[in-house]
Structure 1
Amino acid sequence: MSHKNDQEPNGLKDDANVASTVPDSIADGVDDDIVESNRRLFTGWQFLLFAALAIAYSSFHLVSLNVYPMETWSFRIVHIAGALILGYGLFAGARFADEEHQTSGAGIKWVSYALLIPAAYTLAQVFLMHQTLSGGAMRIDPSVENWHYGYPLMATTACAVVLSWFYRQARHRFNPADLVLMVCALASAGYLLVAFNTNIRMSTGTSFAPSGISWAAIAGSLLILELTRRVAGLALVVISAVFLGYVFVGPYLPGFLGYPGLSLQRFFSQVYTDAGILGPTTAVSSTYIILFIIFAAFLQASKVGDYFVNFAFAAAGRARGGPAKVAIFASGLMGMINGTSAGNVVSTGSLTIPLMKKVGYPARSAGAIEAAASTGGQIMPPIMGAGAFIMAEVTGIPYTEIAIAAIIPAILYFASIYFMVDFEAARKGMRGMRKDEIPLFSKLIKQVYLFAPIIILIAALFMGYSVIRAGTLATASAAVVSWISPNKMGIRAILKALQIAGTMSVQIIAVCACAGLIVGVISLTGVGARFSSLLLGLAGVSQLLALVFAMLISILLGMGMPTTAAYAVAASVVAPGLINIGIEPLIAHFFVFYFAVVSAITPPVALASYAAAGISGDNPMGTSVASFKIGLAAFIVPFMFFYSPAMLMEGTPMEILRVGVTATLGIILLSGMVQAWFFGPVNTWQRLLMLVGAMFMIYGGIYTDVLGLAIGIGLFVMQRKLHGSGNKTAQAG
């Protein structure tokens, strides 16, 4: 009897004893703030100061979006300037000193403080120029703009950026070089606010534009690039530098890359307008993205993220390879909201990856599954990691239409990962988690009301409310719902949520502004139109060849970049070319969007896979190759948007149903082919046949569907005859 008890610890216990042994919660800390390696951890008055700034920044957006709207350009300038000030206060430009004697010397310190004098002087000049223009002057004296504003601002900004690279101090201390950069951000934004609220605004992009606009834009661009380097790494900065270099090198390039050229003044007087930095990317980050970051912060502060993960464990933890299936559900749900694949890997993967390894997944597979699932959150409607809102802004297609179109592709992607996981678990004979290892579903179902904010958000959007109004309602409902949960939000918790939102928003706003710089280069130099003509030429040879080329460019542009920036840049370069070769705008943008998203798991630069490898302890490149394999469906499905538009809900209900069902069956065959398992092991020729059947069904044509179904049914019957009796035990595992 005791031996039996050892083998089946739950088998002879009654429900009451089981209930007393199961954990109330397995997820704890999913909602904790992720502290980046270069973020300062202030104490005392400095903590209070930057907490107040972050709260004020979040509150400013809520008020401006819902109560007291600002003029559009002014609002976006303040939006970027606020992120720059917060960013330079919170994120250091160099590694922190481990010990007191490793800090920078007094020379760098005093030079940094000395730079405050010219920085403050340029800021004072902004106030003087504002008074001059308010007094009825039409222009500012060019000598004042150049010698008293432009040259000091540029020199001070450049020197402070370089000094910040070498200024090392303890993690809890502030850097005077970064204080200089904060003042320069104010001086740059201040001039643009003054100029753009007068008739001077009409001169941007012409030879009559005041030089002050160009100086402010150059300094602002440099500040954006440096902050992007701090919060998102060098990849996006290098790509931006290449595009900026093209502005001035382009006239000397041969072939389709050549263009007439733009002067420094004409380019920079226009790039910090709605043609570039203040354009679509900042339009989205200053409205939808910041609002949903605040929403996510309220969910985080009320510990809803912990509940989501616990709910996923209770629902799927006991299934074969349970923690991997939990990762799919939890990461998909969290990734939909938080908007960054790598960030989602860090938050949920720290829990799911060790548990996957515990039930038998190798470290590489565990990391790859988490990376692929977290990346899938970016294509999960209704929020799609803010991608849906950018697409709506860029294309003019209603948001609800985009969210509905994303349903079948998202189902296919997550079905692919699910069956990849399931077949690997069957092939390796893995178990699920025991009943005493996961929370009781009956307990968690009593708190299902915690899903209410997301349900309210979706319902409000589909009832016709604006995205801003729906997001605000969902945010308010998160606070209200918390009052009947164990984690009630009072004034302190609400302020904490606003502080978290202000801090979390810095990275995505910097990235969007930097992407806007690239978009400005594309629109002002016309390189996008020349790329379109290249795609048009390829389409004359083969449309498939043009699509493959567009795929490669989208992935290349997205490598090392957060999803939002990756899509924004690819949509500017690639999507117009696809539309010009006859592809519908919705299909073209979804095609680009998917490949921009999966660049996070595409070798050699796969941010989500690298983050997962850091947790699993496996080789980063090996993990990225494995996650590429698990997310394989995302590299095939976008091509089917073109050949079968019903996959994006374009067609009759019967066409959509047929394509959805057969494509899902095709995805199951594809997963079996990759994992070499389909109701039992499969050999090489069977895998090749499965690949053919999968492609036939994913393709979406009537005849190809029939052929694919025939192949699938034939393989199913064959495998059941060969392995049916021997596979029952494995299936039960």
Structure 2
Amino acid sequence: MTSATPSDTEDEHVIAKGVDEEPVEANRRLFTGSSLALMSVAGALYAAFHMAALNGISIYEITGIRIPLLPAFPMETWNFRIVHVAGALILGFLMFGPRLTFPEKGQETPVLGYAAYVLMAPALFALGMAFSFAVEISNGVMWNGIDARIRFNETYYFGLPLIIATAGGIALSWFHRRERSGFSAPDVVLSVCAVAVATYLITIYGTLMRNSTGTPFAPIGISIAAVAGTALIMELTRRVAGMALVVIASIFLVYVFIGDKLPGFLNSPAITWQRFFSQVYTDAGILGPTTAVSSTYIILFIIFAAFLQASKVGDYFVNFAFAAAGRARGGPAKVAIFASGLMGMINGTSAGNVVSTGSLTIPLMKKVGYHRKTAGAVEAAASTGGQIMPPIMGAGAFIMAEITGIPYTDITIAAIIPAILYFVSVYFMVDFEAAKLGMRGMRSDELPKLAVMVRQVYLFFPILILIYALFMGYSVIRAGALATISAAVVSWLTPYRMGPRSIFKAFEIAGHMSIQIIAVCACAGIIVGVISLTGVGARFSALLLGLADTSQLLALFFAMCISILLGMGMPTTAAYAVAASVVAPGLVQLGIPQLTAHFFVFYFAVLSAITPPVALASYAAAGISGANPMETSVTSFKIGIAAFIVPFMFFYNSAILMDGTVVEIVRAAVTAVVGVFLLSSGVQGWFLGKSAVWFLRVGLVASALFMIEGGLVSDAIGLGIAAVVLAVQRVIHPKPGATVPVRGAD
């Protein structure tokens, strides 16, 4: 195998360049000079720390030199998660401003900056007290929540300064204006507060005090540190992911303290703030399943994605898709399905993937004749589908494995047929749209050369190595590490060889990319903590059981609505984590198998990204296409309509999730694909090369629903209805109403 030459990957063969480059958010600071160098090193060290910790690699093992201040690996689990969250908070506050705009030169507010530095005194004092507590404990002082001296010191020498610095820093940051290339003083204060919280919690949780959380023996400092930590997490989440998740988390936090006054299933026992916050920053909340996954699997695959980006493999994925599918009618839309699905699987966020690949595919879809709202909708639907594509599933598979205890490999195998059904349905939808509008594909001279792309097929090796390692029994962490190393090795067969500088850059990219998802997972942990500590999840399960007494289908429909509602405006991982805590236990109590129940809520949490009125992926696509955001979200909902039916198929036919004999699984897959084809034909009004009048479309949808149900009798009825529709169309030739196809981009 020979190395690719630059001519193989340049102008005449390539139309996708930089599609996997990290997007620059509107509120991200653009550092220069020494500030840029500092943040680059910080981001790279943060990501490299995780890679080393997860694989048990210490500096001593590499160099033979013992450095006492550096952590020993493997780290204690809680300490590792605390450092994981704290590092993201520090990087996040320094990198992301509190507003979407930055002032022009001369419009800064230096007075507020000076005021922020006054707050540095209590922040540093709180940090110093946390270290002093560590010294006392190491000298044998018995630390508990009963001793009056300890309570006084924790409350007034640690807690009060920390709360003053945290609250003041957040408030000042909203009004302080600093140029985009510089550090903001209030954000520096917040970073110090994050260090103080982490230092105190590691000190206290390093003793037996973690067993006292939620009891009178818990030191008051735990509760105060958790209040500050919760505020920091929610503020960073607001900056990097918007208000949706913050509002939901706030509602849940308010519920903790008013739940005893609410009627019906919302009523919960009275909980004091000390008891709640002493527990929420433990594995019952913030340090629980969501952070467990973000600190292991998610950041590992972010590093993997960063290595793919540094080696330009992402560009190859998109170019390969263009070479393979670009000539088909409506070619760019079909390219978007494959390329965005593949990139979205690794990317982890629907909206983020829309921004990266959509900047290329959406203009090309408009060029070949798709309406701009349709172009945006196709990209949104395809990018959202990446979240359900095995083996990575946008990190959703890892969270599901963590929450359910079901082996990761079982989850990825179960996801194969549903993912096929989703992408097949989207393919049919765009193909029928192209047929109705008489579109052409792209010309050969407009596309990368397939022969060149095939010669570089080895660039798929990192993905193949990942899959092979997982199914050979390697742990997810070890498989991810091997895939990451293979991405660097494969790059040496391309013009983009990864040396020390490129590897450093990949770690830097990973450190910066991880901030949003870590903040979101930590914030989702707050919600999970409220649900587990108040028992509202169990009461919601009882409500579902009551609905099931009336109709099991009604209970499933209600569960679908709640899953979508909880997921609106939230990234996939957070949406699923919350829905899994609220909805999935109720479905399990209905008698639905655990895997089926969790897939059900996972799918609808994912689909919230294309569900009106809050459809993040659709809105991101509309920003690129120039279409109306609401029209785009409605169209993406229509294109992804089959995905809203697939979860109900899990309930009626478990063979869709690979649960059954080979014959049952094959029959379920084939009939479901036929059903999806009929559904797409009915929705688009195009059946076997001809337009379909309204009553034939109704028949097609009805036949699709029978085929999707999964029984032998229902399949026979569905095929019978489809046969009648075909006979009417071919014999009677009913003519649809006059329509004017839109061929232009507008």
TM-score by length of 2: 0.93
2:112 pairs with 1:108: yes
Structure 1 match to 2:151: 142
Q: Displacement of 1:515 after TM fit?
A: 0.3
Mapped partners of 2:194, 2:10: distance in 1: 57
Structure 2 match to 1:697: 707
Mapped partners of 1:515, 1:677: distance in 2: 43
Mapped partners of 1:451, 1:98: distance in 2: 44
Q: What is the identity, as a one-letter code, of the residue corresponding to 1:663?
A: A
Q: Of 458, 462, 469, which aligns to 2:471?
A: 462
Structure 2 match to 1:352: 361
Q: What is the identity, as a one-letter code, of the residue corresponding to 1:118?
A: P
Alignment of 1:480-629 (within 5 A): 480-629=489-638
2:99 pairs with 1:94: yes
Does the Cα contact within 8 Å between 1:557 and 1:569 map onto a contact in 2? yes
Q: What is the identity, as a one-letter code, of the residue corresponding to 1:641?
A: F
Cα-to-partner distance string for 1:202-253 (whole Å, 9 max, x where unaligned): 1111122110000111100000000000000000000000000000010111
Mapped partners of 1:191, 1:21: distance in 2: 54
In structure 2, relative to structure 1, the CA distance for the partners of 1:643 and 1:41 (3 Å cut) is: same
Q: Displacement of 1:716 after TM fit?
A: 3.9
Structure 2 match to 1:78: 83
Mapped partners of 1:716, 1:302: distance in 2: 50
Q: Displacement of 1:706 after TM fit?
A: 1.2
Does the Cα contact within 8 Å between 2:311 and 2:491 map onto a contact in 1? yes
Q: Displacement of 1:487 after TM fit?
A: 1.0
Q: Displacement of 1:718 after TM fit?
A: 4.8
Structure 1 match to 2:252: 243
Q: Of 417, 431, 435, which aligns to 2:440?
A: 431
Cα-to-partner distance string for 1:399-439 (whole Å, 9 max, x where unaligned): 11100000111011001100000000000000000111001
Does the Cα contact within 8 Å between 2:465 and 2:482 map onto a contact in 1? yes
Q: Displacement of 1:652 after TM fit?
A: 1.1
Specify the SS of the correspondent of 2:94: helix
2:275 pairs with 1:270: no
Q: Displacement of 1:199 after TM fit?
A: 1.7
Does the Cα contact within 8 Å between 1:697 and 1:704 map onto a contact in 2? yes
Identify which range, 66-75 or 519-528, moves more after superposition. 66-75
Mapped partners of 1:715, 1:672: distance in 2: 11
2:196 pairs with 1:187: yes
Structure 2 match to 1:635: 644
Cα-to-partner distance string for 1:338-393 (whole Å, 9 max, x where unaligned): 10000000000000000000000000000000000000000001100000010011
Does the Cα contact within 8 Å between 1:22 and 1:435 map onto a contact in 2? no
Alignment of 1:653-668 (within 5 A): 653-668=662-677
Alignment of 1:400-479 (within 5 A): 400-479=409-488
Cα-to-partner distance string for 1:657-710 (whole Å, 9 max, x where unaligned): 111000001101111111111121000110010011000111111111111122
Structure 2 match to 1:16: none
Q: Displacement of 1:585 after TM fit?
A: 0.2
Specify the SS of the correspondent of 1:205: coil
Mapped partners of 1:347, 1:457: distance in 2: 23
Q: Displacement of 1:98 after TM fit?
A: 4.1
Mapped partners of 1:723, 1:450: distance in 2: 50
Structure 2 match to 1:165: 174
Structure 2 match to 1:23: 12
Q: Of 18, 38, 52, which aligns to 1:49?
A: 38
Structure 1 match to 2:25: 36
Alignment of 1:330-349 (within 5 A): 330-349=339-358
Cα-to-partner distance string for 1:76-108 (whole Å, 9 max, x where unaligned): 00000000001001101124434213222x321
Cα-to-partner distance string for 1:99-131 (whole Å, 9 max, x where unaligned): 213222x32111011111111111111111100
Q: What is the identity, as a one-letter code, of the residue corresponding to 2:622?
A: A
2:125 pairs with 1:121: yes
Q: Of 664, 684, 708, which aligns to 2:718?
A: 708
Cα-to-partner distance string for 1:495-517 (whole Å, 9 max, x where unaligned): 00000000000000000000000
Q: CA RMSD in A?
A: 1.5
Mapped partners of 1:567, 1:594: distance in 2: 8
2:694 pairs with 1:684: yes
Mapped partners of 1:270, 1:133: distance in 2: 21
Q: What is the identity, as a one-letter code, of the residue corresponding to 1:41?
A: L
Mapped partners of 1:722, 1:70: distance in 2: 74
Q: Displacement of 1:719 after TM fit?
A: 4.2
Structure 2 match to 1:61: 50
Mapped partners of 1:525, 1:561: distance in 2: 23
Mapped partners of 1:631, 1:196: distance in 2: 47
Does the Cα contact within 8 Å between 1:96 and 1:169 map onto a contact in 2? no
Mapped partners of 1:230, 1:723: distance in 2: 58
Identify which range, 179-188 or 202-211, moves more after superposition. 202-211
Q: Of 385, 392, 413, which aligns to 2:401?
A: 392
Does the Cα contact within 8 Å between 2:27 and 2:102 map onto a contact in 1? no
Q: Displacement of 1:23 after TM fit?
A: 2.2
Mapped partners of 1:427, 1:557: distance in 2: 36
Specify the SS of the correspondent of 1:102: coil
Mapped partners of 1:594, 1:95: distance in 2: 31
In structure 2, relative to structure 1, the CA distance for the partners of 1:470 and 1:723 (3 Å cut) is: farther
In structure 2, relative to structure 1, the CA distance for the partners of 1:484 and 1:723 (3 Å cut) is: farther
Mapped partners of 2:486, 2:733: distance in 1: 52
Does the Cα contact within 8 Å between 1:600 and 1:609 map onto a contact in 2? yes
Does the Cα contact within 8 Å between 2:41 and 2:508 map onto a contact in 1? yes
Alignment gaps of 5+ in structure 1:
1-18, 725-729
Cα-to-partner distance string for 1:534-582 (whole Å, 9 max, x where unaligned): 0010011110010000000000000000000000000000000000111
Does the Cα contact within 8 Å between 2:151 and 2:220 map onto a contact in 1? yes
Mapped partners of 1:300, 1:600: distance in 2: 24
Specify the SS of the correspondent of 1:692: helix
Does the Cα contact within 8 Å between 1:412 and 1:663 map onto a contact in 2? yes
Mapped partners of 1:368, 1:468: distance in 2: 35
Mapped partners of 2:578, 2:491: distance in 1: 38
Mapped partners of 1:271, 1:242: distance in 2: 15
Number of aligned positions between the proteins? 706
Alignment of 1:174-323 (within 5 A): 174-323=183-332
* Identity percentage of aligned residues: 67
Does the Cα contact within 8 Å between 1:336 and 1:380 map onto a contact in 2? yes
Specify the SS of the correspondent of 1:327: helix
Structure 1 match to 2:386: 377
Does the Cα contact within 8 Å between 1:680 and 1:723 map onto a contact in 2? no
Q: What is the identity, as a one-letter code, of the residue corresponding to 1:688?
A: V
Q: What is the identity, as a one-letter code, of the residue corresponding to 1:696?
A: F
Mapped partners of 2:101, 2:115: distance in 1: 19
Cα-to-partner distance string for 1:443-483 (whole Å, 9 max, x where unaligned): 11100000000000000001110000000000000000001
Mapped partners of 2:608, 2:481: distance in 1: 31
Mapped partners of 1:33, 1:278: distance in 2: 28
